Amino acid sequence: MPAARSSRIIVVDDHPVVCNGLCRLVADDSRLSICGTTDNAGECISLVEKTHPDMLLLDISLKGSDGIELTKKIRQINPHIVILIFSMHDEELYAERALNAGANGYVMKQEDPDLLLKAIHQVLGGEIFLSPAMTGRLLRRISEGHIPKSGVLKQSIEKLSDRELEVFELIGKGMSTRRIAEALNLSVKTVETYRMHIKEKFDLNDAAELAHHAVHWVEVGLRSR
């Protein structure tokens, strides 16, 4: 009987050390193989069209886009490919967004490698993977019919669209409107519109208040990682 074909994976991460570590982890599992690696969204799309992988293992922070937006684009190209987000970003904030975009699971980078392997095989087997804590939170949201309150800023964050959240985080990292536009491949006018929408959703008066909230959000996120 011929051996079963290994599942082919593309790793998408803009940190070379992380990418190399993921490739070694996959290489040690005979049921898995790497068919490509990249650090940017555009090249990922080309690789998917060229290699027809079974799965994408991708980060949220990428060159040229982010993992949430990339997930949406990949879903349009190939609705059957398995997508697992592997990121340092807070699961409580991003996991639900990732699932809504079309991802099959979410694992934080600080988790044990054995858990990542478990997640890979679970999503390849047709299941969704989230941490037990995140699964419990989502089940409570479903059963209670609302999102539990956990701070004014967090409630406001949850009102933002995926792209607005991305712009908000870049503002918190000190990037100007022009730099954000260049990083996200958007026009300056479009970024300004996103900034306006964020201020409206946060009920902020001006750019200074927006910057203050954004910097605070980024600092809180860094302390929690």
The fold of 7-140 is Rossmann fold (3.40.50)
Domain map of the chain by residue range? 7-140, 152-224
The fold of 152-224 is Arc Repressor Mutant, subunit A (1.10.10)
pLDDT at residue number 158: 78
pLDDT at residue number 143: 55
- In the chain, % of residues over pLDDT 90: 34
Quick one: pLDDT band at residue 95, thresholds 50, 70, 90? confident
Residue predicted with more confidence, 69 or 149? 69
Across the range 119-129, mean pLDDT stands at 91
pLDDT(214) > 90 = no
pLDDT tens-place string over residues 176-186: 888 888 888 88
3-state SS, the chain, equals: CCCCCCEEEEEECCCHHHHHHHHHHHHCCCCEEEEEEECEHHHHHHHHHHHCCCEEEECCECECCEHHHHHHHHHHHCCCCEEEEEECCCHHHHHHHHHHHCCCEEEECCCCHHHHHHHHHHHHCCCCECCHHHHHHHHHHHHHCCCCCCCHHHHHHCCCCHHHHHHHHHHHCCCCHHHHHHHHCCCHHHHHHHHHHHHHHHCCCCHHHHHHHHHHHHHHHHHHC
User: Lowest mean pLDDT: which of 61-65, 116-120, 136-140, 158-162?
Assistant: 136-140
pLDDT(147) > 50 = no
pLDDT(167) > 80 = yes
Across the range 94-122, mean pLDDT stands at 89
This prediction's pTM: 0.68
